[in-house]
Amino acid sequence: MTTLETRNVLTGAEHALQSACGHLLGLRSPEGWWKGELQTNVTMDAEDLLLRQFLGIRTERDTAEAGRWIRSQQRADGTWANFHEGPADLSTTVEAYAALRLAGDPPDAAHMRAARGPILDMGGIEASRVFTRIWLALFGEWPWRRLPVMPPELMFLPPWFPLNIYDWACWARQTIVPLTVVTACRPVRRLPFDLAELRTGREPRRAAGGGWERAFGVLDRALHRYERRPSPILRRAALRRAINWIAARQEADGSWGGIQPPWVYSVIALHLAGYRLDHPVLTKAIKGLDRFTIRDENGRRLEACQSPVWDTALAVNALLDAGTPADHPVLTGAAAWLLREEITTTADWAVRRPGLAPGGWAFEFDNDGYPDIDDTAEVILALRRLDVPGVRPAIERGVRWMSGMASSDGGFGAFDADNDRVLCTKLPFCDFGAVIDPPSADVTAHVVEALAKERPHSPELRRGVVWLLRAQERDGSWFGRWGANHVYGTGAVVPALVAAGVDPGHSSVRNAVAWLERHQNDDGGWGEDLRSYRDPAWIGRGASTPSQTAWALLALLAAGERSPAVENGVRWLVEHQRPDGTWDEPYFTGTGFPGDFYINYHLYRLVFPISALGRYLRRDTPPDVR
């Protein structure tokens, strides 16, 4: 690249960064936080209508607006997918179809016929996932006896016993407990129609499992026999314990864990247990859904979760990377809000770490029961760069809690320590979504980066670095648990290793740089399709996106690269910026459950490019100053 070309890239990057920062500053709330939309797929909206139908509170307005949104997301082949330009998903399409029937769409309408054909081709209702068939069972469209059993007596298993509720990841735990109530009650509230047109009449062909799968198949058959005549005393006690456990974990905003699955199942479970709709717990729960509802010209849709703490920490770090003064009122106001969001109460995480003092941050506005390690690391990285009253004690508490949540192998999961019992994944009930929370490279990397700044000589830092080095894939990349995918993992790990003192010339860093350069697209950007979670052929491959291009650049810049790959990546960001300062990113680059559930974080397209451009333009500035 010539000197003139380099100068043009620098000039373009400066203009792009200024414009992007202006756009980001304009998105800040008066209270000091940022929150981009957290977009998922239409199962959220379909299940919301089904929930309201089950409770008898579905309104014409909600139904019409949700129906309009669901129809707008149908693809040309008649199906619905779990992410932009992804493959057809049977269960999502079944749930969308059922919701549109609720919205009054006749089965002989063209768009309904277009959906029905692929549903039948993919195996019909019979081949849909367990959670979809649970929703159908609530309305008599699938027999309860043909679902795997999860008895509420599970509540009596002690924390040291295999398959106790604390062996499950926090999001799965909060979902499984209410489902034990629902599946024990086996309610049926008929729809004004049936879905016979979605049945093939054939049992799906399932791959024969061995080992644990076969053992759990035997266990499931035994549980079905028990379910026909459970011990009345034991069942009543188990249901009582489950209901009390659920009610005790409702958050201030009415949710459970700030996420959709445990929220809706907890509402149904409590309702079946005798809670009236005007009970304060259910009133708060149903009203709380409004806060997660977006209404616009496209209709009505629900966010599966909200991410204000995460988004705010990322925004603060991005603006600081861009050179915004640390005493800027926007940054000090954001810091004050983050300090108010600190969680200083003990919760489920203490089951595995009973002697650990609380301190940390959650993802959402109201999720005091489940602070998470990833958010805590990112908040620490943001707050330590600001000089505001009360910041140092909060950082100290956060670092202590975060360090104490290390798993036995030195890595870090998202919510719990040593939540890695793979037996949970073998149950017939678990055919959708991650159900355990083992250490991941991206979370461990964020913790390592925070500890490198705050505890540079700590044993937790050393063990975290060793964990990351051992977790590197043979091709030089790292798997990304919470973002897509190897580009995200690699983009997180390389800056963390360098911050922790690993020399940029170390073979692990060099191999990562080589992997990123090999997977740069011809247009200069980076992208990785979410199908890479299931099909290795997609690893590192996909349409270029702003967030993934920024992740790759952050890794290359941390490794000290001044290569054509960096210049071309920066040029891609400059050339694809919108006039208003942000970027278009229809592709989903966030991950809820690898292989099953994905997220389009609408702020990712802005905060990560700002960080990348800021670090590119200030790459000669010492890291501690950045």
DSSP string, 441-456: HHHHHHHHHHHHHH-T
Q: What is the pLDDT of residues 535-558, one digit of tens each?
A: 999 999 999 999 999 999 999 999
Instruction: Inform me whether the pLDDT recorded for 617 exceeds 80.
Output: yes
Query: What is the rounded CA–CA span in Å between residue 409 and residue 418?
Result: 8
Residue written as token pair 């990562």: 512
**1: confidence class by pLDDT, cuts 50, 70, 90:** low
Q: Which residues contact 23 (CB under 8 A, 6 or more apart)?
A: 580, 581, 582, 606
Does the annotation count 374 as an active-site position?
Answer: yes
Task: Identify which has the larger pLDDT, 432 or 73.
Answer: 73
Q: How far apart are CA 150 and CA 242, in angstroms?
A: 12
What is the predicted pLDDT for the residue at 423? 84
Banded model confidence at residue 364, pLDDT cuts 50, 70, 90: very high
Q: Could you read off the pLDDT of 241-294 as tens digits, one per residue? A: 999 999 999 999 999 999 999 999 999 999 999 999 999 999 999 999 999 999
Angle at 39 between CA 37 and CA 44, to 5 degrees: 120
Tokens of 302: 């629900």
Predicted local confidence at residue 433, as pLDDT: 73
What is the spatial order of strands in the sheet that 597-601 belongs to? 38-39, 597-601, 590-593
- Smallest CA-to-CA distance from 261 within 164, 176, 184 is with 176
Whether residue 130 contacts residue 147, with contact meaning beta carbons closer than 8 Å, is answered with yes
> What is the pLDDT, as a whole number, of residue 358?
96
The tokens describing 79, both together, are: 């199906």
Query: Torsion angle of alpha carbons 341, 451, 479, 37, nearest 10°?
Result: 20
Predicted TM-score (pTM) of the model is 0.95
Q: Using the predicted structure, report yes or no on whether residue 93 has a pLDDT greater than 90.
A: yes
Q: What percent of the chain has pLDDT over 70?
A: 96
Whose structure tokens read 């800021």?
A: 614
Active-site residue among 374, 420, 437, 442?
374
